[in-house]
Amino acid sequence: MKTKAIFYGLFIFVCCCVLQTAAQGKRFSSSSMKHGEEVTYDIYFKWGLIMPRAGDATFSYDRDKSVHNASSRYSMQFKTAKFFDNFFKMRDTLSTYYNDHNELIYSTKCTDEGGYYSVDKLTFTHGEENTKIHSLRYTPSRVKIDTMLTAVGNVTDLLGAIYYLRGLDRTKLQSGNVYPLTVAIGRDLVKIQFTYRSQSIVERGNARYNTRYFEIDIYDEAFENTKASAEVWMGDDDNFLPIKVRSKLKIGYAEIYYSESSDLAYALTCRIETKR
């Protein structure tokens, strides 16, 4: 498997594996967030006994009216660590834009992958029966994708799915609950399904986190399996932040861990400091 394919799976995993749906249908709601929030994650690629740090991702949520009819922007910046920069450097930026009704109306993904540059743009039009998405991808030399997608039910882009997840009322979760979602990526509509399992403890460094544990089915060729493709542990407090994410790829594993945050809407009470 080529290095680029490994990172493709890793990247999709970072963005998609923490998806969830809520009762609002096409409208997103995320009362666990406030403007000004910033959260950083460490990303690792595990292959046998080797587990180098692959990169980091920083998420931010701000007030933004730069796009017509938008009022908020949720963004992610991803970059590979120096070790991976030596043979495959990635610098990707994703931004999603929402109107006053918390509807996802527009998103962009700017990609810089080892000298390959591209821009993805998705424009969402929500109807009574379905959602239409204009998907455009271009490089400095040509247009690679210019197509219309149509999806029924809950649909989002890569990054907007995380925003969607954090609107879930965790206090109403019951073991075995299943939640489907469709994610627009290029020419494709990727199907995701989540199954809530139980409360769980995650240990990381000198801290323990009370979490809610989900298994995730991701129907995408970047993953070794479709059933239980990934796992996610969400912090069991009002912020409902992803704390740990893990997936088996075609070669090795991807693991993502919460690192630090600022200006959260609520205290991070799921974190418990431990003595060593």
Q: What tokens does 256 get?
A: 């993502």
The span from the CA of 80 to the CA of 72, in Å, is 27
Q: What percent of the chain has pLDDT over 70?
A: 83
Arithmetic mean of pLDDT, 24-47: 73
> Using an 8 Å Cβ cutoff, are 132 and 104 in contact?
no
271 or 31, higher pLDDT:
271
Average pLDDT in the 159-187 region?
81
| pLDDT of 82 | 87
What is the C-alpha separation between 217 and 252, in angstroms, rounded?
18
Task: Fill in the amino acid letter for 9.
Answer: G
Q: Which two tokens stand for residue 126?
A: 């929500």
Distance in Å from the first CA to the final CA of the chain: 40
Q: What whole-number distance in Å separates Cα of residue 131 and Cα of residue 127?
A: 6
d(CA 30, CA 239) in angstroms, rounded, equals 9
Whole-number Å distance between alpha carbons of 144 and 49: 39
234-263: pLDDT as tens digits: 999 999 999 998 887 777 788 899 999 999
Cβ within 8 Å of residue 50, ≥6 positions away: none
Residue 6 and residue 45: Cα distance in Å, rounded? 9
Question: What is the per-residue pLDDT for 198?
Answer: 95
Across the chain, the runs of DSSP E, i.e. the strands, are: 37-46, 53-63, 72-80, 90-98, 104-113, 116-126, 131-138, 143-151, 155-156, 178-185, 188-204, 207-218, 230-235, 242-248, 253-262, 271-273
Q: Is 103 helix (H, G, I), strand (E, B) or coil?
A: coil
Q: Which residue has the tokens 């610098």?
A: 91
Q: What percent of the chain has pLDDT over 90?
A: 39
Report pLDDT digits (tens) over 74-100: 898 989 888 888 878 888 899 999 998
Task: Indicate the pTM of the whole model.
Answer: 0.83
Give the C-alpha separation, 128 to 111, whole Å.
33
Alpha-carbon dihedral 41, 42, 43, 46, rounded to 10 degrees: -140
Q: Where are the strands (E) in 114-206, listed by range?
A: 116-126, 131-138, 143-151, 155-156, 178-185, 188-204
Domains in the chain, please, with CATH?
Answer: 3-61+76-87+154-273 (2.40.360)
CA–CA distance, 16 with 102 (Å, rounded to integer)? 19
Backbone phi, psi, residue 10, to 5°? -60, -45
